Amino acid sequence: MPSGGLEIEQLIQLLARLPGLGPRSARRAVLHMIKKKEQLMLPLSAALDRAVMAVKTCEICGNIDTVSPCSICSDPRRGDSGILIVVEDVSDLWAMERAAPGQVRYHVLGGVLSPLDGVGPDDLNLDMLISRAPDCSEIVLAMNATVDGQTTAHYITDRLGPGIKVTRLAHGVPIGGELDYLDEGTLSQALKARTQI
Amino acid sequence: MPSGGLEIEQLIQLLARLPGLGPRSARRAVLHMIKKKEQLMLPLSAALDRAVMAVKTCEICGNIDTVSPCSICSDPRRGDSGILIVVEDVSDLWAMERAAPGQVRYHVLGGVLSPLDGVGPDDLNLDMLISRAPDCSEIVLAMNATVDGQTTAHYITDRLGPGIKVTRLAHGVPIGGELDYLDEGTLSQALKARTQI
């Protein structure tokens, strides 16, 4: 055992499994929290215990929250627009919500179709989406701009059928992006979809 | 509240205060652990609870362990060499111990002298070091190669007096390092301290 006791070593190993942390940064993080035991380690331990108890997956949209249906699904003002944004993952939902807070409803697929990884339509939260669709005026497919994401978007468009307005996010130059660093595909899309100023 | 419930938001904010994590990576880490609730979130919560209870600071050397005196101080074989390595911080102790496991004893200062930050001799774990010194055959000052670290090393050398053999770590080219990227100070030290092959 290189350092500390068994309990400290176990904590380091578990923290090292979080994305963005490795063995070295997990060790630094544990030392830091031990040094700030009162201000950081005790509150973090309590917060983690509380979160473990409280976390729920929303039965309607698949969002993660402490209530189900989640606070987004049970917000009556969000129904007004009739817009439902379909995302791959909860992190995408949170990202969209930061960009345009409090306006629309969401649906989390829980992944994308990926034959190579053995992910088929039955592995995604699709049936619930189909059943929610008739109540929406527009369904925005906000999958990642990857091959699997776009394949999934095509599949969902087919499943939804012609009666529903289905849109996708615009492709183009990211705000603050430099043309020189952009790939040709994005630039060509941005040129095609140019808008008058 | 941008996303998730209050409990999730609090957990993200506390995790974001760990070194190496920011708001964005803390959010990703929390989502990851919620998705792997059984394999990661529950064990992590339990490990953190156990570590909070178990963590102790060694009354002799200042190391962090689950027992005091720590497992290093109470290891009888480490006394044979008579070597005591003085480090700034527990992370430095762990780093030295990974480099040369199971051989020597340590003393953690808990910082370095830094008049600008108001850190004086009384703020460091120095009295215990002075009282441990007579039992040692050699004291290795392994402070960081910074101005404050080297000032502290000089101060400790003065305090220890002439009766005790005091050494410092070698300065030179890091293993795997390229001369082109090294600063002049290191290179000049490496040249001065060249050894015959």
What one-character-per-residue DSSP string does chain A give? --SS-HHHHHHHHHHTTSTT--HHHHHHHHHHHHHTIIIIIHHHHHHHHHHHHH-EE-TTT--EESSSS-TTTT-GGGGTT-EEEEESSHHHHHHHHHHSTTS-EEEE-SS--BGGGTB-GGGSSHHHHHHHGGG-SEEEE---SSHHHHHHHHHHHHHH-TTS-EEEPPPSPPTT--GGGS-HHHHHHHHHT----
- For residue B11, pLDDT over 50 is answered with yes
Closest-CA distance, A113 to chain B, in angstroms, reads 19
Spatial separation of the C-alpha atoms in residues A190 and B7, rounded to whole Å: 41
Over residues A54-81, mean pLDDT? 92
Whether A37 has its CB under 8 Å from any CB of chain B: the answer is yes
Whether the model pTM is above 0.90: no
- Whether B195 is in a domain gets the answer no
**Is residue A122 domain-resident?**
yes
Backbone angles phi, psi at A148, to 5 degrees: -65, -40
Q: Is the pLDDT of residue A30 over 90?
A: yes
Q: How far is Cα B143 from Cα B86, in angstroms, rounded to an integer?
A: 7
Q: Does residue B147 share a domain with residue B92?
A: yes
One domain for residues B74 and B45: no
Is B129 in the same domain as B162? yes
Residue B75: inside a domain: yes
Q: Are residues B41 and B88 in the same domain?
A: no
Chain B environment of A29 (Cβ under 8 Å) = 18-21
Question: Do A93 and A143 sit in the same domain of this protein?
Answer: yes
Residue B59, domain member (yes or no): no
Of B42, B51, B55, the CB nearest to A52: B42
| pLDDT single digits (tens) A155-183 | 999 999 888 999 999 888 888 888 888 88
Check residue B181 and give its pLDDT. 86
B162 touches chain A (CB under 8 A): no
A105-108 β-sheet, strand order: A105-108, A83-87, A138-141, A166-168
Among A27, A45, A50, the residue with its CB nearest the CB of B48 is: A45
- Grade residue B1 by pLDDT with cuts at 50, 70 and 90: very low
- Asked if residue B78 and residue B39 are part of one domain, the reply reads no
Same domain, B46 and B127: no
B80 plus B162 within the same structural domain: yes
B21·A20 Cβ contact <8 A? yes
Residue A87: C-alpha distances to residues A125, A152, B22 (Å): 11, 11, 24
Domain membership flag for residue A95 = yes
Nearest CA in chain B to A99: B2
Are residues A19 and B32, on separate chains, in Cβ contact within 8 Å? Answer: yes
Q: In chain B, pLDDT over 90 holds for what percent of residues?
A: 69
Neighbours of A171 (CB within 10 A): 14
Decide if A47 and B98 are in contact by the 8 Å CB cutoff. no
Report the percentage of chain B scoring pLDDT > 70. 98
Q: What is the pLDDT of residues B111-137, one digit of tens each?
A: 999 989 999 999 999 999 999 999 999
Q: What is the pLDDT of residue A3?
A: 58
Domain with B133 in it: what CATH number? 3.40.1360.10
The number of domains in chain A is 2
- Does A10 touch chain B if contact means CB atoms closer than 8 Å? yes
In this model, does residue A1 exceed pLDDT 50? no
Residue B87, SS3? strand
- Examine residue A128 and state whether it is found in any structural domain, yes or no: yes
Q: Parallel, antiparallel, or unpaired for β A83-87 and A105-108?
A: parallel
Question: How does pLDDT run across B51-96, given as a tens digit for each residue?
Answer: 999 999 999 999 999 998 999 999 999 988 899 999 999 999 999 9
Instruction: Write out pLDDT tens, residues A59-72.
Output: 999 999 999 899 99
CA B155 to chain A, closest CA, distance in angstroms equals 25
Assess whether the previous peptide bond of A69 is cis (omega < 30° from 0): yes
Whole-number Å distance between alpha carbons of A70 and A152: 25
CA dihedral for A186, A191, A192, A193, sign (positive or negative): positive
Q: Is the pLDDT of residue B45 over 90?
A: yes
Say if residue A96 is in the same domain as residue A149: yes
CA–CA min distance A119, chain B (Å)? 17
What does the DSSP 8-state code read for residue B194?
-
Single-letter amino acid, residue A10: Q
Which segments of chain B are extended strands (E)?
56-57, 64-65, 83-87, 105-108, 138-141, 166-168
What's B52's DSSP letter?
A: H
Mean pLDDT on A1-6: 66
Is A152 within the bounds of a domain? Answer: yes
- Judged by a CB distance cut-off of 8 A, whether residue B30 touches chain A is yes
* Cβ–Cβ < 8 Å for A65, A56: yes
Tell me how far apart the alpha carbons of residues B106 and B64 are, in angstroms, rounded to a whole number: 12
Indicate whether B136 and B72 sit together in one domain: yes
ipTM above 0.85, yes or no: no
- Is residue B183 domain-resident? no
CATH number of residue A10's parent domain: 1.10.8
What is the 8-class DSSP label of residue B114?
Answer: B
User: Which residues are A81's β-sheet partners?
Assistant: none
Asked whether residue A35 falls in the same domain as residue A98, the answer is no
Name the residue range of residue B122's domain: 64-168
Q: Which of A54, A70, A90 is the last residue of a domain?
A: A54
Cross-chain residue pair A45–B50, CB shorter than 8 Å: no
B74 lies within 8 A of chain A by CB: no
- Residue A148: both structure tokens together: 């699997």
Note whether B140 and B100 are same-domain residues: yes
The predicted-structure confidence for A86-110, as pLDDT tens digits, reads as follows 999 999 999 999 888 889 999 999 9
Which of B1, B6, B17, B18 has the most A C-beta neighbours within 10 Å, making it the best mutation to test the interface with A? B18
pLDDT of residue A189: 87
